[in-house]
């Protein structure tokens, strides 16, 4: 590991919770079929002083796709409203331990806040260890957030289409899909209507759950082993994607734990790609998956 870990421990946060430069962010987000309300849960109990980062509000709300990266001025406005400066030490957590926190960590990084971390074990571990929680809402004062947007890290559909037309693309870029293996293989339906299951030609499947043990990332040696076993060269450029862009940054976080800076994410991910009938999608047999009713043409 050649770089600083992107994680802080619960003990570190307990000791530094009242430090003036520390800001704590609850990034909990649930899939629609989980039937859970993350904001309501935050209101019931959160780490003292934590503010709630709403992935669907601090986003490009003009897009038909969910939680797309916000324009930098919008991000700066919404995050400044939460009392967070780009120079703060930002500690991000979610309730399960490691799910949506990685997406918010990535959001802050691509907006120029480099001193941000994920709480190892998340809220569940914090509570299990007996650290305090509260239902008192945070009341931060608005502060300026200077967004320095690394737009090259946010990959769009047109770029993916161009890359797929590039000869010998696998020698230049790796497309890594972090969806569950049954969805990648086209053997299980996608949760969103009008979206085909299957995979993008040339892509590699590494389910995000393979990178996690319990409520945290696997140990570095195991991470490296599982990444390589999937057919990924961690030293080669890659683009991460998933169902809708939430879990793809878990791979970025895992590589950061290994000292590797790999922050490219296809923001629209599968929700965008497979909803377009003229984007190629392959099934378990390697043959094209037929278009579905309700999908669109680009």
Query: Do the strands 216-217 and 238-241 form a parallel or antiparallel pair, or are they unpaired?
Result: unpaired
- Residue 34's H or E segment, with its range, is none
Q: Which of 116, 218, 242, 252 is catalytic?
A: 242
Looking from the CA of 77 toward its CB, the CA atoms found within 13 Å total: 9
β-bridge mates for residue 276, sequence order: 296
Q: What is the CA radius of gyration of the chain?
A: 19
176 phi, psi to nearest 5 deg: -115, 120
- Residue 26's H or E segment, with its range, is strand 22-26
Residue 252 is a catalytic residue = no
Instruction: Please report, in angstroms and rounded to a whole number, the separation of the first and last CA atoms in the chain.
Output: 43
Distance from chain centroid for Cα 81: 22
- Residue given tokens 């897009």 in the structure block: 63
Non-local CB neighbours of 7 within 8 Å, separated by 6+ positions: 117, 118, 119, 120, 216, 217, 257
Catalytically annotated residues = 242
């Amino acid at each position: 590991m050649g770089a600083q870990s992107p994680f802080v421990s619960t003990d570190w946060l307990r000791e530094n919770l009242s430090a003036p430069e520390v800001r704590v962010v609850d990034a909990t987000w649930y899939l629609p079929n989980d039937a859970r309300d993350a904001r309501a849960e935050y209101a019931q109990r959160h780490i003292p002083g934590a503010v709630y980062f709403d992935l669907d509000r601090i986003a490009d709300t003009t897009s038909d796709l969910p939680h797309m990266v916000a324009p930098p001025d919008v991000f700066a406005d919404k995050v400044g409203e939460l009392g967070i400066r780009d120079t703060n030490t930002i500690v991000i957590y979610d309730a399960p331990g490691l799910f949506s926190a990685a997406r918010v960590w990535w959001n802050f990084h691509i907006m120029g806040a480099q001193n941000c971390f994920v709480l190892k074990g998340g809220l569940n571990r914090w509570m299990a260890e007996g650290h305090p929680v509260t239902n008192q809402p945070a009341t931060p004062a608005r502060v300026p957030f200077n967004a320095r947007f690394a737009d090259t890290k946010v990959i769009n559909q047109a770029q993916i289409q161009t890359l797929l037309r590039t000869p010998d693309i696998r020698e230049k870029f790796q497309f890594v899909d972090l969806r569950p293996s049954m969805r990648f293989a086209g053997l299980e339906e996608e949760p969103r209507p009008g979206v085909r299951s299957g995979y993008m030609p040339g892509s590699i499947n590494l389910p995000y759950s393979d990178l996690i043990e319990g409520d945290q990332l696997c140990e570095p040696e195991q991470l490296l082993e599982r990444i390589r076993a999937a057919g990924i060269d961690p030293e080669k450029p890659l683009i991460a994607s998933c169902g809708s862009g939430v879990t793809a940054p878990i791979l970025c976080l895992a590589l950061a734990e290994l000292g590797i800076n790999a922050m490219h994410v296809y923001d629209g991910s599968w929700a965008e790609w497979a909803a377009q009938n003229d984007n190629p999608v392959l099934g378990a047999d390697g043959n094209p998956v037929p278009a579905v009713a309700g999908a669109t043409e680009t």
